[in-house]
A and B are shown apart, each in its own frame.
Chain A
């Protein structure tokens, strides 16, 4: 059971906009930044969104992040086949003094 809650799956057709939610608590998302990672099949995770809504260099602006209270969301617009991957949210947890991850969302591009 992950500390952060994500839907296990999401899907969309090319060109569509999809969102992935991430729910936490006051000790993690409520007080700290949320980060999103993309893991393509068979590869290491890659930082996708930093500090709630910042895109690292090289990440397309089709990807965006937001946070409100103890929840966060990742939005992907103009969905492409290469976006098919697992997506994870993460945050530092003050109560645990450690990092917590969501269980991951498998995105399928139909």
Chain B
């Protein structure tokens, strides 16, 4: 059974940093692309960043480019999102999602972790 479990969310001040993790199990993690998708309170879905199966290719939404860094450790079956220079508008539930490749569907989603940016 595919499982994706996010962690690392919490309350952080504007300008601060946070690192999210997504622990994967139940599939060959190193063979699949992964993405982070967020959802602000009461709002719709917004793709944040994606990474190829090997980690050699990364993609970012313009809203986070230069501030967020996606990475993966295939030996630990874990996906990461390093978030720096956080803003109030980054407040959201962050989901990790599995993909067959970067331009294909998000076929499995984690339960999400809440990031709140506030003073």
Contacts and interface: CB of A to CB of B under 8 A. Distances in A.
B45 A37 contact: yes
Contacts of B106: 35, 37, 45, 47, 90
Interface in B80-119: 95, 102-112
Interface of A is mostly: strand
A24 interface: no
Contacts of B37: 45, 99
Given A2-B44, A37-B45, A45-B45, A97 B59 contact: yes
28 contacts: A32-B103, A33-B104, A35-B106, A37-B106, A44-B109, A44-B111, A45-B37, A45-B95, A45-B109, A46-B109, A47-B106, A50-B105, A50-B107, A56-B107, A86-B44, A88-B44, A90-B106, A92-B102, A92-B103, A97-B59, A98-B61, A99-B35, A99-B47, A100-B47, A101-B46, A101-B47, A102-B44, A103-B44
